[in-house]
């Protein structure tokens, strides 16, 4: 019972911050039609508040390893990670420089948050639309040409910690078309916050930056071969992180 009170306190406090930011930041940005840099900075502030409150009120901490592997040349790259909860959507803003996302269109329907997200103009896809892959390839290419990194979850949605699914090939296809490196990330956030409203328990989320696949490394691979490699690499590490988290609890 006490745990649920903590979770409700998190959502209540976060909602208050969201409303305040919407009134005093998002509305002025909207009416003044300010650019992406300002909008992104506001989103980053919200993400940091989210992660801080999750730690303060629910004991959801995190540890990142391999941060030194991230490219430092300022050129765009695509980040591919497993997807277990809503947590990593916001956490990525803490470690990845200015970026955009490929995400499901339904997130726009979330109160307040969805409105702010829409103002960032991510690549929002309808997964039931057969043209969604073409949308990812065309709009994703534009984001990269604008100098933005791109966050993608190749599983196509949130996946339970005890399941593996076939990765979508659109991420590898986009990387090959755009000729940009691919950063692979694995984590175990679902151990502590699975899909849904309720956090499961407090604990330490582990995030590992596994490797950077340079354009030179993948130039001899076709889309399916590259996708299979990415799937195997991320899933293998994810399983290790999940086992470690459950063993240490």
The first and second tokens of residue 226, run together, are 């590259």
Q: Is the pLDDT of residue 249 over 70?
A: no
> What would the pLDDT profile of 176-208 be if each residue is shown by its tens digit?
999 999 999 999 999 999 988 888 899 999 999
Rounded to whole angstroms, the Cα distance separating 234 from 68 reads 18
For 132-155, the pLDDT digits (tens) are: 899 999 999 999 999 999 999 999
- Note the pLDDT tens digit of each residue in 16-33: 999 999 999 989 998 999
Q: How far is 147 from 173, CA to CA, in rounded Å?
A: 18
Domain boundaries, the chain: 61-248
Q: Yes or no: say if 84 and 158 are a contact pair by the CB < 8 Å rule.
A: yes
* Domain at 61-248, CATH class: alpha beta
**Token representation of residue 199:** 């956090």
Q: Look-up: residue for tokens 């591919």?
A: 80
């Amino acid at each position: 019972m006490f745990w649920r009170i903590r979770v409700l306190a998190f959502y209540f406090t976060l909602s208050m911050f969201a409303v305040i930011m919407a009134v005093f930041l998002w509305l002025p940005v909207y009416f003044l039609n300010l650019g992406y840099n300002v909008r992104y900075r506001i989103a980053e502030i919200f993400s940091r508040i989210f992660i801080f409150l999750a730690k303060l009120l629910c004991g959801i901490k995190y540890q990142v390893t391999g941060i030194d592997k991230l490219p430092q040349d300022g050129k765009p790259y695509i980040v591919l990670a497993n997807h277990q909860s809503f947590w990593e959507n916001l956490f990525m803003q803490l470690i990845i420089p200015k970026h955009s996302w490929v995400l499901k269109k339904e997130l726009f329907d979330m109160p307040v948050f969805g409105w702010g997200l829409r103002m960032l103009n991510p690549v929002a896809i309808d997964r039931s639309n057969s043209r969604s892959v073409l949308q990812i390839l065309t709009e994703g290419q534009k984001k990269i040409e604008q100098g933005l990194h791109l966050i993608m979850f190749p599983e196509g949605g949130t996946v339970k910690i005890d399941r593996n699914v076939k990765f979508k090939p659109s991420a590898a296809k986009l990387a090959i078309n755009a000729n940009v490196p691919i950063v692979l990330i694995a984590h175990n956030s679902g151990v502590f916050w699975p899909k849904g409203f309720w956090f499961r328990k407090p604990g330490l989320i582990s995030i590992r930056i596994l490797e950077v696949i340079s354009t030179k490394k993948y130039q001899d691979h076709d889309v399916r071969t590259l996708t299979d490699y990415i799937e195997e690499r991320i899933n293998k590490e994810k399983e290790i992180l999940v086992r470690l988290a459950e063993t240490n609890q």
